[in-house]
Amino acid sequence: MLIDDKNVQFGGMTVKRMKNYKAGVNFGLWISQYGNAGKEHFDNFITEADAERVATWGMDHIRLPVDCFFFESDEAPGMYSEERLQYIDNCLEWCKSLGLNMIIDLHAAPGFTFFYADSSIWDSGAKNDLFENREKQERFIDIWKMFTKRYRSEGRNLAFELMNELVSDSTEPWNELWLRTVDEIRKIDGDRTIIIGGNKNNECNQLKFLAVTDDPGVVYTFHFYEPGMFTHQRSPFIIPLKDYPIPVTYPFYKKDHQAFFDAFDKMGLIPDVYRREVFDRGFIHDDLEPARRFVEETGKELYCGEFGANEFCDPESAERWFEDVVSELDGMGVGHAVWTYSGDFSFLTRGYPREDGNKKIIAMCSRIPGLSK
């Protein structure tokens, strides 16, 4: 898929850095969030054939989540496993051979992972200490210096996403760290596209708290899983949802799930956008308003690095939800990558042979508005 070198306009946003990252997919759960898996998983969960399939779908990029402890351990900081880094190299070579672009997303960082949040929502007793630990901050920066040197010869076919889904009491410590990291990257590579996300798991209403830099290579990102009681229904790691037994369809009415809303309200977790009676495309449009406002106020490019629905969502509702979300993102000119290619959140391939997949949802998530395939 070829796009000319000129800036393009989508949805009122001037797209420069992300014009080749309009419709993609995450290769999640491969070298990120892999639990106790080992070499057999790494060799077989994702292969070149999967990248080829993504290309045949008409997508233009792959977001590759990578956990730092996949290639570096706390016991040997700064010692990077060449054998493990080769998996990233391989994926990049597949992408290049297929005309796909790629994002390296540091899905777990030294002292930080998105589900180790001190929050009443997440069912985890673990803590993050990246922002209190100077040594881990230096490790974080060193990882990105290593990637920058390793991939210095690559062009805009490769982008760096510095960290996945910040969860912190304040965005300010993250602003300080990512700005320092960008400075170090720029000493090595003056043109690499660098993607920065905000707090509360990259919610778009947190974009306004991010520092705005005049670096033209910095792009901002958010994730979209709203309404969460649909996309994350019965999720075992989210306390209000894991024991809620009533199936949630899409669209839905608040009155059909009043008990859930009442429980969430008691926890003080109902945002204003949820104070409505029906959850449909109008809700999705309104929930994305902070993203539109961020573009208007800053002139910066946006990218949606994750959106998806879990295995408890019925397929017909999922099709309606994907259509509404992709249509809204396309209307805003925001490129996107569906979560995920394979696994619990994959409506692309789950329940189908990988060579077939869910053709309706694949077609929705592969659309690139204004471009010919």
Tens digits of residue pLDDT in 69-86? 999 999 999 999 999 999
Give the model confidence (pLDDT) of 196-205 as tens digits. 999 999 999 9
Of 369, 281, 362, which Cα lies nearest the Cα of 315? 362
Residue with tokens 């304040």: 170
Torsion of Cα atoms, 237 then 238 then 243 then 246, to 10°: -120
**Structural domain contains residue 259:** no
Percent of the chain with pLDDT over 70: 91
Residue 193 lies in a domain: yes
Q: Is residue 165 part of a domain?
A: yes
- Is residue 29 very low, low, confident or very high in pLDDT (cuts 50, 70, 90)? very high
- Which CATH number fits the domain that encloses residue 215? 3.20.20.80
Query: Which residue of the set 165, 203, 301, 328 is catalytic?
Result: 165
When divided into structural domains, the chain yields a total of 1
Beta bridge partners of 10: 13
Half-sphere exposure of 33 (CA within 13 A, CB side): 19
Within a domain: residue 252?
A: no
The angle at the Cα of 60, spanning 291 to 335, to the nearest 5 degrees, equals 5
Q: What is the mean pLDDT of the chain?
A: 90
**Hey, what amino acid is at 257?**
H
Would you state the structure tokens that stand for residue 328, as one six-digit string? 């809204």
How many Cβ atoms sit within 10 Å of the Cβ of residue 39?
Answer: 9
User: Which segments of 187-257 does DSSP mark as H helices, in order?
Assistant: 199-202, 228-231, 239-242
Q: Which of 161, 306, 319, 328 is catalytic?
A: 306
DSSP single-letter state for residue 246 = S
Asked if the model's pLDDT at residue 251 lies above 50, the reply is yes
Does the annotation mark 277 as catalytic? no
Predicted structure pTM score = 0.93
Q: What percent of the chain has pLDDT over 90?
A: 76
Q: Is residue 136 situated within a structural domain?
A: yes
User: Count of CB atoms within 10 A of residue 372's CB?
Assistant: 7
pLDDT given for residue 353 in this prediction:
61
**pLDDT confidence of residue 352:** 64
Residue 2 has pLDDT above 50, yes or no: no
Q: Which residues contact 51 (CB under 8 A, 6 or more apart)?
A: 62, 91, 94, 95, 98, 100
Query: Which residues constitute the domain of residue 334?
Result: 8-231+284-366
- The reply to whether 244 falls in a domain is no
165 catalytic residue (yes or no): yes
Residue 223 lies in a domain: yes
| Closest listed residue to residue 333, CA positions, set 70, 22, 71 | 22
Do the domain assignments include residue 102?
Answer: yes
- Rounded CA-CA distance 114/166 in Å is 6
pLDDT at 3: 36
pLDDT tens digits, 294-351: 999 999 999 999 999 999 999 999 999 999 999 999 999 999 999 999 988 888 887 6
> Average pLDDT for residues 106-130, to the nearest whole number?
71
